[in-house]
Chain A
Amino acid sequence: DVKVTQSSRYLVKRTGEKVFLECVQDMDHENMFWYRQDPGLGLRLIYFSYDVKMKEKGDIPEGYSVSREKKERFSLILESASTNQTSMYLCASLEAGSGQPQHFGDGTRLSIL
């Protein structure tokens, strides 16, 4: 079974802080994704990575950056947290090859005060 681990289930930070969300997968997957999920808006892609040190912007990258220094780890960074970044953040990984499903971590519910 694929195991995707997100570092925190719940996190509370203050406006202006730099926030790091960590995600680790144990299946040697090439592709990793960061989404945020808000009520009524569904899953929105922030960034994804298809290889170490490679990253691509998703639909809503503004205010975020990512880092992928090792294949198993994909970090999401909120450079200067704002209240509108309060959300559920979901990390997913995907094996290379067509038709594979994404596998999710448990999610991080982030509150910015």
Chain B
Amino acid sequence: QKEVEQNSGPLSVPEGAIASLNCTYSDRGSQSFFWYRQYSGKSPELIMSIYSNGDKEDGRFTAQLNKASQYVSLLIRDSQPSDSATYLCAVSEDSNYQLIWGAGTKLIIKP
């Protein structure tokens, strides 16, 4: 059974601090990794994708991938109240088009 695990939270972070979200996956054949943000009552929206080991930065967001340890993380710098949401980690093999989803981490940014 292929699994993606995330701490459900809630993770509470002060405004302006760095929020760190983690995700581990079981399938060593995984090739593509995605972070989605989901506001309450809304659908998931893609915020980051990462495919190779190391860091990938996009504005205040940095995705980190370590395939040897089978984890992927998302850092949010200068956290804002608008970052309060559930963050979903998703992983795919590429040999098929299905994503394996984590259950999500609820992030709360406190003003």
> Which residues of A pack against B, CB within 8 Å?
31, 40-43, 45, 48, 50, 58, 90, 94, 96, 98-107, 109
Contact = CB atoms under 8 A, between A and B. Distances in A.
Main secondary structure of the interface of B (DSSP, over half): loop
Nearest to A99: B32
A40 B34 CA distance: 20
B103 A42 contact: yes
Interface of B: 31-32, 34, 41-46, 49, 51, 88, 90, 92, 94, 97-99, 101-104
B44 A90 contact: yes
Contact of B42 (A48, A58, A99, A107): A107
Contacts of B46: 101-103
Contacts of A42: 88, 101-104
A48 B97 contact: yes
Contacts of A101: 32, 34, 46, 49
Nearest to A2: B46
Nearest to A96: B97
A104 B94 contact: no
Contacts of A104: 43-45
A102 B45 contact: no
